[in-house]
Structure 1
Amino acid sequence: MSEAYLYFPGCNIPYRERGYEVSARAVAEKLGIELMDKPFTCCGINVEPIDEFAALLYSARNIAIAEEEGMDLVTLCNGCYKTLKVANEKLKNDENLRNEVNKKLKILGREVNGDIEVKHFLDIIFDKIDDNAIVKKVKARVAPHIGCHAQRPSEYVDFGADIKIDRILELVGSTSLKYKDKDKCCGAPLLALSEEMGMTIANNKLTNMKEAGAELIVTMCPFCQVSLDTLQVKIESDFGEKYDIPSMYITQILGIAIGIPYEKLGIEENKTNPEEIFKKDL
């Protein structure tokens, strides 16, 4: 019997990081998880620095759609997860705020009541994976990066992502490495303000991963993947470094381990190519 969630794609994944969604849908199908679609809008994260209440309204509209369907929301994007999760908890626990928001949503014929939960896809698949699901071991020295918004603000969003991603990597046969500043930012949020600063932070992250002996990076956030995968060649050029550490999503490495064909996991969308690492396993 499958379990079903409303899938919130966010803005970045459908247009820039399609491999994440491709692999997540393939993994979900394999594990008996149904991801259903609705006409969602932006979660509001980009509006938040300018107008927190407006950002809350963005989230509230999406939450109201999920409540109408009576289904929990699941997202792949850490930024969307943080924004929707914080909004949902605030709306559940602050009646005055909820009433104020509902006055605005009434224009759209919607309201929020605090009836659903917001989850990260990692949290869902963690509960579905055990040794019996693994059909192919993927032996690699992995530097996992869980990102900021799956950890902070901890009172709202922390679901033990660091422990869960390490456990999944252990199950698939990989070694999860400890490295300097493992829980620090990848630099992605700063790229729009200062590309130099954002790339400097990403360069420091890649340096620490390389020094720990990483042969593969595993991410769970599209913005982190942009920093560590998409921009890796530019970082190497600008900083005179050579990393050559492929980066892929947790759904992609897990997909291989549970028997999904390599070519059905969107890995060709990645900018760094992990194929050499997996040749012995393909």
Structure 2
Amino acid sequence: MTDPFSSDGAKAPPKPYTPGDGRREIRSFVLRQGRFTPAQQRAFEDRWPRFGLDYTGTPRDLDAVFGRTAPKVLEIGFGNGEALRFAARQDPSRDYIGLEVHAPGVGRLLNALADDDSGHVRLYHHDAVEVLQNEIADGSLDEVRIYFPDPWHKKRHNKRRLVQPEFAALLVRKLRPGGRLHAATDWRDYAEQMWDVLDATPGLANRAGPRGHVPRPDWRPETHFQRRGEKLGHGVWDLLYDRIERDRIEDHAGAPALDSPAR
């Protein structure tokens, strides 16, 4: 939690996020903040009141946050914000929420959102699991995006991967029926784990069929993570899942072909 007010009565920028004690033993991230530039620090000071959401641990009315009723898209672990900024510019008819624990990336995106005047984007500088559990109402999201999460490629670290059965079940709760989950990775081993978990999660159906993937959709740009992976000889897998009622899972095999962003 951040101090709500500074000494002069102005709203203070959030302090760097630090994981709480005793809430989760295993996390999908380690804070490697890197270089926090003066421009990024100023972004927290100047831009956070407009684009930032302070974590409170209580349910949030997202329509009230954005001042309108519109489809809601959540991106988990947005990194430097490249994909989230692209999506917001391409489709201002939807509201976007970004989650990231690393302060430099948040500061960079805050400045970019100000440059774009993107009033339909809000950011959390906090742990995604805690935000989903405590601040996002069930059935309130139209889409969740997880692009190139940390692969934790050493076998002994696989337990730290974000996409696990419990987390997948949490996403199903937060997505509305007819909503969508889009995950992308450049690690084949992680794609295999995503298929193992997501294909087996009640309420999710793979748009491309069991253990299937799709070409990169238009709404996801070719990010620096993808270019880096391809230079290293990695493939890239986009996994697209529809949130459906559990009794319709068997009927989903005939789902329509990949389309433009769902509305």
Normalising by structure 1, we get a TM-score of 0.30
- Choose between structure 1 and 2: higher helix proportion: 1
TM-score (normalised: structure 2): 0.32
- Counting strand residues as a fraction of each chain, which structure ranks higher? 2
